[in-house]
Amino acid sequence: MEKILDIIDSIAHEKGLSPDSVKEALKTAFIQTAKRLINEDFAFDAEIDDVTKTIRVYQTITVVDDDDDDHLYTEEGDVNQGYISLSRAKEEVDPDVEVGDEFQIEHDIEGFGRTAAMTLHREIEFHIQRLVENELYNKYKEKIGTIASGRVTRVDGKQNTYIEMDEVRAVLPMKSRIKGESFRVGDVVRAVVRRVNIDRVNGIQIELSRTSPKFLEELLALEVPEIKDGMVVIEKSARIPGERAKIALFSTHPQVDPVGATVGVKGVRINAVSDELLGESIDCIEYTTVPELFVARAMSPAIISSVVIEATENEQEQDKAVVTLPSDQKSKAIGKSGINIRLASMLTGYTIELVEQDGAKAVIEGETPAEEQKEDISSLEALFK
């Protein structure tokens, strides 16, 4: 097929693909066309001549023993064109040929007329489309967990929002929208890439989310230069979308306050993120590797007297954090509809049990030495004064 490869550069340029990948796609299209026109079971290969800009299709023939009827004949008793007997090969091909050798015969696809042209056209379209989808899949797979933006093109009856992003369309399911928000056609929406799938039927599918904790983290990275530069690290985060969130931060620089840098002057940075999340309240706490202190900080704004971590024997269950606190702090610890204690549990990974303090003395149990217990209590008191 003369000069068919003249289209390679134009396809590569138009679709944003590499010429080499387009060449491979065309070779595959020619091979599949030969299989459809000649025989699905035959072994074909395609060879591209960059000088003459032609592509030739070859069938591979394998030499077998004269009495190897399993290969020389099909189950219906017909001659199998994919194999040739040793004696016939010596006579027709090369007298020095041996069993197991392979040679190729060329097939002229053009000789099959209009049927071949239509089949080849469909195969080229199919393989170029698969190539484009694979390129997009690899591109957006690397963007999982990052923010993407686009314009709303449609909202279906189930309130799933379809968003045009560059060369693809993504979907923001209703379950991944913040409670109370709605979108109209033409709105510009930001969300985090949650999942990227590809299949032969539906092609590439991109799912977005505005309820994922990762969306909060990425928004903070956009607003807080210290987070983007790595001087402040978001260790953990937890959200109840549209209502409240908690983030645990630590600083990699001794002179940078992680909470202060994230909140910003007069709260300007954290408020900008909160506005994007429909007024979601965001609590910033300083992360620590001391679990008791981390749990106490996560229970903010409640003032905690002590925390004891109890390990569970069942690996399927979370370890328990027994939190002792004054009775007047219990409502703050629980929060409206239990939101504060739920977020603290999500952030720390512990099941939290509240125990009202009996008198002024808190009983601390566990393996922490007495002196360290006193230091921890002092730290907790100083933290929340």
The answer to whether 354 and 342 have CB atoms below 8 angstroms apart is no
| pTM for this model (two decimals) | 0.71
* Whether the predicted pLDDT of 268 surpasses 90: yes
Average pLDDT, the chain: 84
Name the pLDDT band for 80 (thresholds 50, 70, 90). Answer: low
**pLDDT tier, 58 (very low <50, low <70, confident <90, very high otherwise):** confident
Dig out the tokens for 129 from the structure.
């489309």
Cα distance between residue 121 and residue 79, in whole Å: 31
Least confident of 79-88, 232-241, 338-347: 79-88
Rounded distance, CA 239 to CA 256, Å?
25
| For residue 117, pLDDT beyond 80 | yes
Instruction: Look at residue 331 and give its three-state secondary structure.
Output: helix
Nearest to 348 by CA among 281, 310, 292, 270: 292
Whether 199 shows a pLDDT value over 60: the answer reads: yes
Determine the pLDDT at residue 76.
Answer: 66
What does the pLDDT read at residue 385? 40
Q: Could you please report the per-residue DSSP string of 108-137?
A: -GGGGHHHHHHHHHHHHHHHHHHHHHHHHH
Question: Between 339-348 and 291-298, two packed helices, what is the crossing angle to 10 degrees?
Answer: 150
Contact indicator for 241, 215 with CB cutoff of 8 Å? no
What does the pLDDT read at residue 363?
A: 32
% of the chain residues with pLDDT over 90:
47
Q: Which residues pair with 128 in a beta bridge?
A: none
Tally of CB atoms within 10 A around 372: 12
Sketch out the chain's domains with CATH numbers.
6-140 (3.30.1480.10), 144-209 (2.40.50.140), 212-287 (3.30.300.20), 291-385 (3.30.300.20)
Q: Tell which residue, 57, 72, 38, has the closest CA to residue 105.
A: 57
pLDDT above 60 for 1: no
pLDDT single digits (tens) 326-362: 989 999 999 999 999 999 999 999 999 999 886 433 3
Instruction: Kindly indicate the confidence band of residue 283, based on its pLDDT and cuts at 50, 70 and 90.
Output: very high
